[in-house]
């Protein structure tokens, strides 16, 4: 055990922040501390760093904080670096263990700080600049670099991904995975935590609970724990009610009085199962269907040029009903401009685009959360949906985390994240069949983001959205649009699949690799006589080659998709029966075993169908890339 807190309590200003907590760090563990804002996460980091002490407890003779040896502990603070008049190189070399310029240790140290310095997006020559010439965000990066070079036994990082762009965060993820010391993180970047940590501590109500695994595993396990605790609580309440009814029925009957007393004694001796605290996140379990399904093709763009005075880029695209497309790319690449052009806020510079027939649009941009009103949240919401009863209004708002007193707040008094959540609740309640969203989760806490993720997954309409929250993209998107260097690439899989492919190399290398894989198919197409190719291009509004070549790839893909969906429904039904039987004390073991065998069999079929669907999608994607290659070759 490297470091341990046992039964520790911390109070500040007469208020208990941490109450009888147990916390431990083993070896090189990467640990995340999660919880609502104000739960005490930073207090815990300060306690580990030695800036705070646990409350004295005269009844506890042993020390509440112990370690296996004398440890060095480094904590990233959010305040600015000192020595503003010194160069970055002077600051970073200050902690070099070897002062001899020509020593092997000095060379290794400088090599390491060059690697970290450039990994954070700086150029080597910038280390000769004075610290005062860097922005606040850049100075925060330099603070982190300085701390990483110190390599303390326990590294404490409070929001380390603030001020970092996605490429730098990805570099830091890789560095943290290889870091050979223990690290404790506090971060709202759930994707970062998923990539790095192997233990999660949840801080709630002053108590800590340890969950092994990544952030996603923690969330899944917590939901399972709450479900199990709820069932156990409900079973016990039902048993108590049954026993109480027996007592009431027989307590006045002389012949049954002893029986009634024994039931009462049984109730008194029964160890009560505590009622579990509900999760802060609301999970939408049903479906959110649009009022009208709309047309098959929700949006079509043909050689669409987007921009203002001049075109930023050109793209052709068709969006099918029910797709959920995440849009990623660097700032300034044209993502927001595309969405504004799509919804008609700005005209296209060239080309054509149109929404499908009977499209009911819900649009959220970065100014949508500026809603102002002197009305209460419930009153404001009810005015928008007067057909709802007050109970329905409260239930709907509660599903979007406006519970109890929160629904009685004045709209103008809400935070930016709360206003955004209110507007998105209004959009989803209006049930459009197309939602276009630009950074919908900005300024929201994790609970609000996960609530909206579940709502967007339950929504059966079409979504196009821009977001820098990689976890949100992974949870919602089933396809990706990548805006990069005046081009747009459509990727028909989720974000995690896209990352796995792109991590084989840079984006350029990935494209080259794909082109090499598709060379034979491209050659086959180019073998078609030019006259036929010309006639084919005239047939369709979107490159005619789709109708000629894509049919062979699309049909098996759609069949595999239908098969996968059918098996998923069957497996979900059997899995539900297994779970019900598992928790049913009256279940027959033989029936449970039979259900489990059926579940295993269907799951194997589902896995096979899923692989077949993936292969079909890849073949379809290969055709996409071959078309792009052919067009460029022309």
Q: Hey, where are the domains in the chain?
A: 3-220, 221-269, 297-494, 519-633
From 40, 49, 35, 37, select the one nearest 9 (Cα to Cα): 40
Kindly state the average pLDDT of the residues 451-470. 94
Q: Is the pLDDT of residue 615 over 50?
A: yes
Contact yes or no for 410/375 (Cβ under 8 A): yes
Six-digit token string for 85: 């008049």
CATH topology assigned to domain 3-220: Rossmann fold (3.40.50)
From 202, 146, 252, select the one nearest 22 (Cα to Cα): 202
Q: Is the pLDDT of residue 344 over 80?
A: yes
Q: Return d(Cα 435, Cα 319) in angstroms, integer.
A: 12
- For residue 330, what pLDDT is reported? 82
Q: Return d(Cα 82, Cα 149) in angstroms, integer.
A: 17
- For residue 436, what pLDDT is reported? 95
- For residue 488, what pLDDT is reported? 83
Contact yes or no for 493/480 (Cβ under 8 A): yes
Q: Give the strands of the sheet with 30-34, arranged side by side.
A: 73-76, 154-158, 182-186, 30-34, 199-204, 207-212
Instruction: Indicate the helix (H) or strand (E) that contains 489.
Output: strand 487-491
Domains 3-220 and 297-494 share a fold: yes
Kindly state the average pLDDT of the residues 464-473. 93
The per-residue pLDDT for range 301-340, each reduced to its tens digit, is 888 899 888 888 888 888 889 999 999 988 788 899 999 9
How high does pLDDT run on average in the chain? 84
Q: Which of 200-204, 444-448, 480-484 has the highest mean pLDDT?
A: 200-204
Tokens 């306690």 — which residue? Answer: 47
The per-residue pLDDT for range 399-420, each reduced to its tens digit, is 999 998 999 999 999 988 899 9
User: Regarding predicted confidence, which is higher, 138 or 503?
Assistant: 138
- For residue 61, what pLDDT is reported? 62
Q: Is the pLDDT of residue 517 over 70?
A: no
User: Regarding predicted confidence, which is higher, 424 or 302?
Assistant: 424
The per-residue pLDDT for range 211-220, each reduced to its tens digit, is 999 999 999 9
Q: Return d(Cα 337, Cα 514) in angstroms, integer.
A: 29
373's CB contacts (< 8 A; 6+ apart) are 380, 410, 411, 412
Tokens 């995975």 — which residue? Answer: 177
Q: Is the pLDDT of residue 513 over 80?
A: no
Question: 297-494 falls under which CATH superfamily?
Answer: P-loop containing nucleotide triphosphate hydrolases (3.40.50.300)
Q: Is the pLDDT of residue 121 over 60?
A: yes
Q: How would residue 529 be classed by pLDDT, with cut points 50, 70 and 90?
A: very low
Q: Which of 62-66, 313-317, 453-457, 628-632 has the highest mean pLDDT?
A: 453-457
- For residue 549, what pLDDT is reported? 54
Helical H segments across 530-588, by residue range? 530-539, 545, 551-582
Q: How would residue 603 be classed by pLDDT, with cut points 50, 70 and 90?
A: confident
Kindly state the average pLDDT of the residues 159-166. 84
From 48, 23, 32, 76, select the one nearest 196 (Cα to Cα): 32
| DSSP one-letter string for 12-61 | ETTEEEEEEEEEEE-TT-EEEEE--TTSSHHHHHHHHHTSS-PPP-TT--
Pairing state between β 30-34 and 361-364: unpaired
Q: Is the pLDDT of residue 538 over 70?
A: no
Mean pLDDT check: name the lowest of 227-241, 298-312, 478-492. Answer: 478-492
- For residue 536, what pLDDT is reported? 32
Contact yes or no for 74/150 (Cβ under 8 A): yes
Pairing state between β 311-320 and 297-307: antiparallel
User: Regarding predicted confidence, which is higher, 454 or 582?
Assistant: 454
Pairing state between β 182-186 and 199-204: unpaired
């Amino acid at each position: 055990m490297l470091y341990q807190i046992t039964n520790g309590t911390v109070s500040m200003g007469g208020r208990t922040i941490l109450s009888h907590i147990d916390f431990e760090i083993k070896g090189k563990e990467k640990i995340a501390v999660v919880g609502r804002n104000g739960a005490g996460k930073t207090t815990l980091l300060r306690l580990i760093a030695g800036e705070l002490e646990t409350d004295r407890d005269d009844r506890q003779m042993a020390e509440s904080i112990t370690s296996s040896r004398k440890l060095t502990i480094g904590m990233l603070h959010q305040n600015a670096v000192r020595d503003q008049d010194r160069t970055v190189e002077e600051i970073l070399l200050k902690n070099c263990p070897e002062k001899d310029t020509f020593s092997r240790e000095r060379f290794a140290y400088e090599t390491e700080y060059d690697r970290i310095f450039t990994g954070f997006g700086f150029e080597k020559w910038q280390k000769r600049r004075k610290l005062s010439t860097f922005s606040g965000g850049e100075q925060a990066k330099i603070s982190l670099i300085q701390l990483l070079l110190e390599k303390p036994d326990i590294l404490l990082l409070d929001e380390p991904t603030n001020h970092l762009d996605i490429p730098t965060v990805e570099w830091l993820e890789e560095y943290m995975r290889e870091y050979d010391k223990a690290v404790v993180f506090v971060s709202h970047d759930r994707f970062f935590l998923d990539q790095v940590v192997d233990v999660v501590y949840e801080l709630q109500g002053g108590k800590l609970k340890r969950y092994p695994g990544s952030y996603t595993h923690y969330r899944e396990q917590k939901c399972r724990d709450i479900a199990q605790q709820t069932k156990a609580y409900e079973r016990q309440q039902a048993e108590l009610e049954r026993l109480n009814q027996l007592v009431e029925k027989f307590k006045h009957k002389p012949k049954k009085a002893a029986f009634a007393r024994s039931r009462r004694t049984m109730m008194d001796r029964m160890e009560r199962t505590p009622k579990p605290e509900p999760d802060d996140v609301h999970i939408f379990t049903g479906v959110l269907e649009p009022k009208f399904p709309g047309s098959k093709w929700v949006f079509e763009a043909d050689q669409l040029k987007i921009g203002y005075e001049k075109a930023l880029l050109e793209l052709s695209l068709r969006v099918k009903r029910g797709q959920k497309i995440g849009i990623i790319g660097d700032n300034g690449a044209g993502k927001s401009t595309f969405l504004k052009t799509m919804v008609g806020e700005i005209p296209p510079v060239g080309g054509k685009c149109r929404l499908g027939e009977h499209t009911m649009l819900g649009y959220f941009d970065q100014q949508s959360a500026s809603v102002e009103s002197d009305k209460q949240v419930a009153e404001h919401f009810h005015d928008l949906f007067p057909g709802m009863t007050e109970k329905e209004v409260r239930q709907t708002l509660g599903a979007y985390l406006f519970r109890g007193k929160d629904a009685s707040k004045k709209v103008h008094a809400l935070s930016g994240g709360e206003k955004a959540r209110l507007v998105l609740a209004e959009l989803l309640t209006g049930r459009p069949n197309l939602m276009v969203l630009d950074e919908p989760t900005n300024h929201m806490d994790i609970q609000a983001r996960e609530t909206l993720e579940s709502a967007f997954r339950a929504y059966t309409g079409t979504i196009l959205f821009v977001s820098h929250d990689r976890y949100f993209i992974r949870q919602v998107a089933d396809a990706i649009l990548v805006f990069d260097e005046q081009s747009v690439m459509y990727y028909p899989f989720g974000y995690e699949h896209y990352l796995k492919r792109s991590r084989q190399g840079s984006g350029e290398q990935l494209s080259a690799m794909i082109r090499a894989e598709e060379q034979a198919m491209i050659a086959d197409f180019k073998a078609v006589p030019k006259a036929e190719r010309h006639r084919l291009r005239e047939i369709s509004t979107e490159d005619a080659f789709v109708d000629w070549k894509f049919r062979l790839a699309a049909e098996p893909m759609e069949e595999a998709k239908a098969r996968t969906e059918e098996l998923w429904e069957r497996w979900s039904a059997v899995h539900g029966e297994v779970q019900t039987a598992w928790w049913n004390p009256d279940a027959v073991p033989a029936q449970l075993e039979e259900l489990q065998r059926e579940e295993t069999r269907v799951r194997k079929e589902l896995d096979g169908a899923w692989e077949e669907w993936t292969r079909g999608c890849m073949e379809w994607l290969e055709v996409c890339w071959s078309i792009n290659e052919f067009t460029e070759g022309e």
